[in-house]
Structure 1
Amino acid sequence: MSLADLMRKGSLRMFATATLATVATHEAASGATVAEVATVAVANSPGAKVEDDPTDLDRWCWPRSDAMNGAEIDRLVSRVELFVGRGVTLIDATALADSLVRRDREGDDRWACVECANLTNRRCATWRRAGTGGPIVPTDLATTLQRCQGFVFVDC
């Protein structure tokens, strides 16, 4: 199973930092089971004021830390699928989708052509308005963040 499959299923949001206790840290009990001995500790984010709600899977994620929250992970996976479907290599699509997480957090107003509804088969429907010089959009331009008058967002 690939990393993208795990992310798509939401499995990555289930990980936690666990520290197992040993019998040496507890009163010795004859016949103790692992469940009686093991304890779990979750890492704290310094200065974060978060209620300890074990049902909130995003409690230690953005905006309380740099870790992606569930919605960001889902959006990243959707973007990678969109970009690969538009001819971007998996490695480049993943790198671009990751940079778009930072862009979204910072409120940057630039977009990549591969996010635009006007791009089909590497052809820009609004190339005159966009000022690309022609309808064919090279891959390096399609993955570059820029401001475009013809941009129409593809919700993914």
Structure 2
Amino acid sequence: MKWLDRLKTPKASDPHATKPTKPQESEQAAGFVGFVAYPPAPFQKIEGSEAANNTTPAADPDRWCWPHSEAMNAVEIDIFTARLARFTDKGLTLADAEQQADRLVVRDREGDDRQLCLECAHLHGAGRWRCGNWHRAEVATQLKDAQLPGALVQTLQRCPGFGASTP
């Protein structure tokens, strides 16, 4: 049988290891003894742990995410993405929007009940913000069209006029 024919013929897995190779006389000081064996197929499942036996990623894509680690789970990623879009639409740079959305992930995990004006349905404008519920929110009471400072819009707070926006 020629070498090309041997490559085309699939080799059956041999459960037994090959005989160890012996080093040549001149290499005995360094020495190397090796052998080759196929792993037992199929691998045995681990008993008593259904999670350990489930190796398909589609089974539970969030199995290593929050609360088991700091990684965001699928729901948090969806909310993060929606917030990112809203914040950039409201005039934040992408870097500032990501920073605020990251802060809100932590806020949500900790159960903090404060909100950003950026999350409010009453916030109007993009970069030059106005509060559409200024009287109830008790901001800019002198002029209803007064511009809100950026520091206020990006500060977590409890606002009596807050109305959640839909992402």
Between the two proteins, the alignment pairs up a number of residues equal to 113
SS in 2 for 1:80: helix
Please identify which structure carries the higher helix content: 1
Structure 2 CA distance for partners of 1:50 and 1:70, relative to 1, 3 Å: farther
SS in 1 for 2:105: helix
Q: Percent identity?
A: 47
1:82 deviates by 0.3
- Match of residue 140 from structure 2: 133
- Match of residue 17 from structure 2: none
- Match of residue 91 from structure 1: 95
1:133 deviates by 2.4
Task: Indicate yes or no: 2:36 matched with 1:27.
Answer: yes
Q: Any gaps of 5 or more consecutive residues in structure 1? A: 1-25, 30-35, 37-48
Q: Any gaps of 5 or more consecutive residues in structure 2? A: 1-34, 40-48
CA distance in 2, matches of 1:50, 1:101: 30
Greater C-alpha radius of gyration: 2
**Deviates most, 141-150 or 128-137:** 128-137
For residues 52-87 of structure 1, the C-alpha deviation after alignment (integer angstroms, 9 at most, x for no partner) is 443211000011111110111111111011000001
Correspondent of 2:112 among 98, 105, 108:
108
Q: TM-score of the superposition, structure 2-length normalised?
A: 0.61
- Match of residue 21 from structure 1: none
Correspondent of 1:124 among 122, 131, 135:
131
Higher relative contact order (CA 8 A, sep 6+): 1
Correspondent of 1:61 among 50, 61, 65:
65
Q: TM-score of the superposition, structure 1-length normalised?
A: 0.65
CA distance in 1, matches of 2:109, 2:148: 27
Alignment of 1:40-55 (within 5 A): 51-52=51-52, 53=54, 54=56, 55=59
CA RMSD of aligned residues (A): 2.3
CA distance in 2, matches of 1:104, 1:76: 11
